[in-house]
Amino acid sequence: MRKILSLALATLFVLGLAVVPASAEIELTLYNNKVEISEALQNIAKVFSDQTEGVTVKVESVGGGADYSGNLTAKHTADQLPDIFVIEGDGDYGLWKDFVTDLSEEKWNADTTLAYLDPEGKVVGFPVAIEGFGLGYNVELLQKADIDPASLTSYSALKAAFEKLDGMKTELGIDSVVSMAASVSGGTWWVAGHHNFSIYLGGGLEFTDTSIVDKYNAGEVDEARLTEYANYVKLLFDFSDQTVLTTGTYDNQLAPFANQKAVFIHQGNWIDPSLKAMNVTFEYDYISHPFNDTQEHKGLYLFAPSFYVINNKAGDEKIQAAKDFLNFLVYSEEGANYMVNEAGMVPAFANITLQPSGGFSKALVRANAEGGNHGVYFGKLPAGTGQSKLAPIFDVFAQDHSDEGVSFLVADLTKLATDLAAGQ
């Protein structure tokens, strides 16, 4: 027996939110692209379902190295488009613009500035969380090596630190300086194809500066900047465990950092729950990605990468139930606890004041308060670019990150810009 007739009789009634009682059993499908939060999301969906008569939320998760966009397209082809699904920016919006519901009148808009807007300025996307990344590091290992992370604000400083750490492997008990994966076969294509390439697109720029990604989509590159970026990728690859780099899975990449066999890791705050599950107790934090020597790099890379959209073909009752679920995430104690404590996320909503416990999420909260951060713009590239175009380029470079390989990387990324502008 469910506890209440609708959210209007519990949390949402207090908030003055109207809920249309279900006339029949409604099963909402939510298609999630973050395997890291799958269990937590299923749990909060059950809490909502238990509190809402006539509504059940079912979560299906596809993520990591899987092709979420391709799977979503297959569901649409089979006439099984989920009631709530994820888009990741302009490219995805272009694919699904005919299926999104106008959410402009939803209460949660008053508590966020990160909702996704369509070209007409209507809100159509619910920001799942603030996410972000820098170059993660083990605090204790840097202290043992007498390296101050605050000094690692330039390419040259980071290179010198990497070389020092590499010479202290035995003393520190590490196998590699960096844990990074760039493998298509291992399913970690997005580490480089999405997030690392975002360093070229937004690194060192003002948070809202999209000039580099706009030029890239128009077929133009900043050759000097691209070369600096390519050399930075080489630096990361040179000091990585080569097996993890070239064939490693997501778990393979996390393990060396969690086991203190690598000092640095190229990952975002979404790994906090995974590190917790791996019984990590040491302190960890972020520096920026200092990809050149032309400026001081201190900012982190912050973004709302994912947005829940509601399928406008789902029918009025399902649409209302989906809206109720999103409001529940923002305005219930259970929803806030899910976001911060269970999923390890940084909420995109100002009314949620819980502080995250994970080291990387804490770093994002501090960075967001301090400012001076950089935007993450892979979502402004055409849909599928990261997986189908960029990922193979980085995979090849992982196999040969020599000086000659750097030249090939620059050439390949330059050609890709031309191809994208030509619609190829």
- pLDDT, tens digit, 9 for 90 and up, residues 100-138: 999 999 999 999 988 999 999 999 999 999 999 999 999
d(CA 360, CA 307): 21
For the chain, the residue count is: 424
On whether both 204 and 320 belong to a single domain, the answer is no
Is residue 139 in some structural domain? yes
Residue 102 amino acid letter = D
Is residue 76 in some structural domain? yes
pLDDT, average across residues 54-71: 86
Look up residue 56 and give its two tokens.
């059940």
% of the chain at pLDDT higher than 70: 93
Query: What's residue 91's pLDDT?
Result: 84
Phi-psi region of 116 (alpha: psi -120 to 50; beta: other; left: phi over 0): beta
pLDDT in tens, 88-104: 888 899 999 999 999 99
HSE-up (13 A, CA, CB side) for residue 178: 24
Is residue 347 in some structural domain? yes
> Is 22 a residue whose pLDDT tops 80?
no
On whether both 55 and 164 belong to a single domain, the answer is no
Q: How many structural domains is the chain composed of?
A: 2
On whether both 57 and 110 belong to a single domain, the answer is yes
Cα distances from 25 to residues 28, 55, 142, 203, 390, in angstroms, run 10, 6, 56, 49, 44
Is residue 2 in some structural domain? no
Mean pLDDT of the residues in the chain: 92
3-state helix, strand, coil in the chain (%, to 5): 50, 15, 35
pLDDT, average across residues 343-357: 89
Whether the model pTM is above 0.85? no
pLDDT in tens, 260-311: 999 999 999 989 989 999 999 999 999 999 999 999 999 999 998 899 999 9
Query: What's residue 81's pLDDT?
Result: 97
On whether both 70 and 173 belong to a single domain, the answer is no
On whether both 269 and 250 belong to a single domain, the answer is yes
On whether both 170 and 282 belong to a single domain, the answer is yes
Sequence-ordered list of residues with C-beta below 8 angstroms from that of 370, at least 6 positions apart, any chain: none
Is residue 169 in some structural domain? yes
d(CA 383, CA 277): 32
- Adjacency order of strands within the sheet including 131-133: 131-133, 301-303, 374-375
On whether both 207 and 152 belong to a single domain, the answer is yes
On whether both 59 and 122 belong to a single domain, the answer is yes
> Is 190 a residue whose pLDDT tops 70?
yes
- Single out the residue in 313, 329, 352 at which a domain terminates: 352
pLDDT grade for 345, boundaries at 50, 70 and 90:
confident
Domain that holds residue 273: 135-299+364-421
d(CA 193, CA 391): 5
On whether both 15 and 123 belong to a single domain, the answer is yes
Query: What's residue 383's pLDDT?
Result: 85
d(CA 202, CA 289): 11
Query: What's residue 34's pLDDT?
Result: 86
Strand-pair partners of 32: 61
pLDDT, average across residues 166-187: 97
